Each structure stands twice: as structure tokens, then as C-alpha cells.
Chain A
Amino acid sequence: MSTSGVTPMVEAIGVHKHYGGVVVLKGVDLSVARGEVTCLIGPSGSGKSTLLRCINHLEKHDAGELRVDGELVGYVARGGKLYELNDKQICGERAQIGMVFQRFNLFQHLTVLDNITVGQVKVKGIEIEVARAKARQLLARVGLENKEKHYPSQLSGGQQQRVAIARALAMEPKLMLFDEPTSALDPELVGEVLDVMKDLAKTGMTMIVVTHEMNFAREVANTLYFLDGGVIEESGDPRVVLSSPSSDRLKSFLSKVL
């Protein structure tokens, strides 16, 4: 939880989101302090992924206040009015938030190295040689230094996800979002991705992780949020929340996943 006086990295107050008639988020309040790891857990359809996608404006929230680094997501407040940001301004906001997807979403037509340099060069205007040096350094960090010439289809799921993390980190984000990063992986490959994420957490990166890995949440997260039916049911220190859940919903959820 954030200490008073310091703006939290992410702050949500009463965030609502619906698709047509289906209400997905029914007033979510959440606060993520700088340098902390926050895990979002909850059953399928509870709105975890939607909340994550609202934070980097891949989805537009319908009501409520959502701030990243003190700035409103998707709008700018001027003279008592909210002005919607244009495409370019939204892109500028997104470039500062890294996102890792369940299905990796590496660019299939580009090599591993090009996947990590394309954003740096085309979005941030970094010179190609500098971008490549950074990409190689990140590949070494995720343990894939000898794979730079491979295409994504030639890598295992765990390797692809580590490249995807490197690709997001190359943009030097102030916040990293992980949308079920290990759910599409074979069980024996989950560990290698979680290890990379643990190392990242140690560097003081602010991370929001939607996950079903309760051990990871317990071990790494500073704060845990349990979402169900579009609202936060329970939150707090994961060691406390996971070992002695107070709500019945969390109890029944944990009995199924643990």
C-alpha cells in the first residue's frame, strides 16, 4: 500500500467496464505503490485481465478514475473538463507501460533480436546499434543469449515468453503488466518464466501480475487482490490472505486452485 505523500504508480477508484450488456468491472478500487509487486487472482471471468488491459488503455473503462503515475489514463484534465487523448498521446502513455501476454504475442515474422529492437527503434527513435546492444543485454538477462537469430516459432513456449519479457523491458517501462504469463505454458516450463519475473521484482520494477500461480504470489507479491464478479473481494498481504481467507468466495476459490 502506498505511503501518504507519494503518488502510487497505479490508482483505481471505482473503475467500471462493460461490454454491451455484460458488466465486467463493477467499481474496482486498487492502489499499487512504486517498486511493489501486486498479484491479481480470481476465477475466470472475474475481470482481472480486463482491469489490466484498462491500465494500459487497450480497453477503455466506462466510469471511475484510473491513474498511472498520477496521470489519468486516456484523458487529460484541463479547466474542469476531461479531454480524450488522441492516438499518438495514448501511444506515448502505452510506451511507458510494458505488457506481457498469456499467448506471448511475439511478432512471428521477426527474429528474436528484431522483436526486441523494433519498439526501441520505431517508437522511441533509438539508433539500431544501440537498440541491438540493449536487446543482447536483455537476452542475456533472460538466459537466451544464443537465440537472437531464431524466429519465435522455433522457440519453446517458455523461451518465447522470456523473449516477450525482454521485448517489454527494452522500452524501459516504469510499470510492467503480466496477463497470466504462465497459463499457456507446459508445466515444466513455468519455472523458467517465474524465475525471470522474480529477478525482475528484485530490481524494484513495479509489477502487476494476473496469475494462477499461488506460490509465486505468496513468495513475491507485496499485495494480493482477489477479484470476483467484477469487484475486489479481498486484498492485503498475500501470506495473510492466502493462509487465512476471510470471505467464503476466496475460501472456495482457493480450495479449487491450491
Chain B
Amino acid sequence: MTSNGDDAAKVVPVRHYGQWVASLFALVLLAMLVHTLLSKVPSQTSQTVCRTVGGVRTCHPLMVWRFGWDVVGRYFTTADVLHGLVITVELTLIAMTLGIVIGVVLAVMRLSPNRLLSSTAWSYTWFFRGTPVYVQLYFWFYISTIFHSLTIGVPFTNITFVHLNVNSILPAFVSACVALGLNEGAYMSEIARSGLLAVDEGQTEAASSLGMTRPQTLRLVVLPQAMRVIIPPTGNELISMLKTTSLVSAVSVVDLFGATSNISAANFQNTPLLIVASLWYLIITTILSIGQFYLERKFARGALRTPPPTPIARLRSDVKGVLGKFRTARVPKGVRA
């Protein structure tokens, strides 16, 4: 009982002993991981370091970072790696843009009442999702062996307007963009379709009743609202694409992974260079994730009464929550022990 009637009774929160044990276990594992990452081992080249102290000469093996952090640091920002990074980012952005445009067009076609349009869209998705992207990369790389030239003219006649050599217009980089973009279009079409279907039919009817044409309805009413559903999986696709681009080294495009592979082929420092590539991929992914968060917030306008908190606001409330755990739990007013 409390001496003062206004004071709330002291409350003992529920103790979660199981959680404490699990947390301790996780902390030990984390410590082991950090220890391994930062450990040093004797050099594989059997080098030794000798010192003479007070006339006594002692030798011990040269110790190096187990994960070659010094090598990682040395190569992290070399010109070759940075050039590869630029290629990777360019490929990702171009292929993704191409994929999104194709995807939206396919989704609209797929939902069209015209059977020919919808089955064309379905077939496209069926084909490009049904074959490996790796195979498609090679296909577009070798396309010049099937089509030697590209001609724009009237079909089934000899009238031509433009005549191009395929090899000159489809260098490796372009063929990689085309392959990744066309493949991505198939996946994006399903994402865009789910977004379009998620918009209530009443929205389309309201737009029609105002006299909007079908393209206006799509552009002004349906797509902006579909974006809310489309963005999260598209962010996922974008991040996935960033890493899928690492396949292009197979068709002689030197991207980030290609650049680090080339270096490790010369100096045999495989693990450190894999770490260089991985760290860059992680950095770009982090930047993209932050961008996705703010884009989602922008398109959530009107859908939610209160926008989701920014990461900083969330961090602040998390810290408050953790601190609160160490304080006495609050009791509803008027409850006495």
C-alpha cells in the first residue's frame, strides 16, 4: 500500500527470462563473429619477422588479417573497381527503367478487353520468366550471329528506310541492357498488374462519370494509386537487379564483379576482392533502400491518415521504448496495490 493516495502503486513488469538467455546467446555468437572478422593468422607465404632484442634474435611468423582487410582497403577505391561500379549502376538503372516501362505497358495490355493484346502480354511474360536470365544474356550477346543487320522498312517488300549492322549497334553493354531489361519487364508486368488491380473499381467509375477518357483515367487516377502497391516489390526488384547485373561479366562486360574478379585473377587475393565487391553492393543497396522509403512515403499520401515515421523518428521512439523498460511500468490511474 502507498502512504499517499495519489501515488500509483509500484508495478513489477513481467520478467522474460527466456528472452534474456536467448539474447545472451546471440551476443556471444556476435562476439565470436567480430573476433573472427578481426583476427590475424600466420601468413600463408611462410614469411617470418625477426627481431634482435638485447643480442637475442627471435623470429616469429608474419601475422596477417584473416579476411585481408589491408588488401580490401588497398583495392576498395582503385580506378578499375570504381569504373566497374559505374558500369554496374548504369546497367541497373537502364535495365530497370526499360523493365518498368515494358512492365507497365504489358500490365495495361494484359488487362485490356482485347483478347489479342492480353494474350500477347501473357505470352511475353510466359517466355521471359520461363527461361533463365543467364541464357537470355548469352542470347542477346550472340544475336548478331542470327541477325546480321537490322532493317526498318515496309514489311514483305524491298522498301527500306534504315539499314544497320547489328554488331555495330549492339555492343556487349547494350546487349546486356536489352537482355536484363526485357527479362525484368516480364516480372515488372506482374507487379504493375497487381497494382492496377488493387485500385478500387469505383475510382475508375468516378473518373468515367467526370468524362475522363480511358488514358486519362489510367494516368490521373489509377496509376498514381497503383504506385503505392507497386513501389515496395519494385524496390525489391531494383535491389535484385543490382546483383543480377553481376552475371554480365559472362558476356565480357566489366562491371563491379568483373573488375574485382579480374584483379583477383592476377593477385590470387580472392576473398578480399569478393569483400570489396560485396561491400560496394551493400552500400548501393543501402542507398536504394533509403530512397525506396521516401518514395513510399510520397505515394502513401491520402492513403494513410498519418504518414509512417521517418527512420530517425522511429529510432527515437525505439530508444525511448528500451529506456522505458528499465523504468517502472505505468499503471492506469486509480489502480492500487
Chain A residues packing against B (C-beta within 8 Å): 56, 58, 87-88, 91-99, 101, 103, 105-111, 118-119, 122-124, 151-154, 164, 167-168, 171
Contacts and interface: CB of A to CB of B under 8 A. Distances in A.
B163 to A, nearest CB: 39
B208 A107 contact: no
Given A109-B303, A122-B216, A153-B303, A58 B205 contact: yes
Contacts of A58: 205, 208-209
Given A108-B302, A108-B303, A118-B220, A94 B210 contact: yes
Contacts of B221: 107
A108 B206 contact: no
A171 B216 CA distance: 16
A92 B211 CA distance: 6
B173 to A, nearest CB: 38
B211 A110 contact: no
Given A107-B203, A123-B211, A152 B220 contact: no
B211 A95 contact: yes
A91 B213 contact: yes
A110 B302 contact: yes
Given A108-B203, A108-B225, A109-B224, A167 B210 contact: yes
B287 interface: no
Contact of B202 (A91, A95, A105): A105
Interface residues of B, number: 24
B205 A105 contact: yes
Contacts of B205: 58, 99, 101, 105
Interface of B: 200, 202-203, 205-214, 216, 220-221, 224-225, 299, 301-305
30 contacts: A91-B211, A92-B211, A94-B211, A97-B209, A99-B205, A101-B202, A101-B205, A105-B203, A105-B206, A107-B206, A107-B225, A108-B303, A109-B225, A109-B299, A109-B302, A109-B303, A111-B302, A118-B210, A118-B220, A119-B211, A122-B212, A123-B211, A123-B212, A124-B211, A151-B301, A153-B302, A153-B304, A153-B305, A164-B206, A171-B211
A119 B202 CA distance: 16
Nearest to A107: B221
A98 B302 CA distance: 24
Given A91-B208, A107-B221, A122-B220, 15 more contacts: A58-B205, A87-B214, A88-B213, A94-B210, A95-B210, A98-B209, A101-B206, A106-B206, A108-B203, A108-B225, A109-B225, A109-B299, A110-B302, A118-B220, A153-B303
A98 B208 CA distance: 10
Nearest to B204: A105
B210 A119 contact: yes
Contacts of A92: 211
Given A105-B202, A118-B220, A94 B302 contact: no
Most B CB contacts (10 A, CB to CB) among A105, A106, A124 go to A105
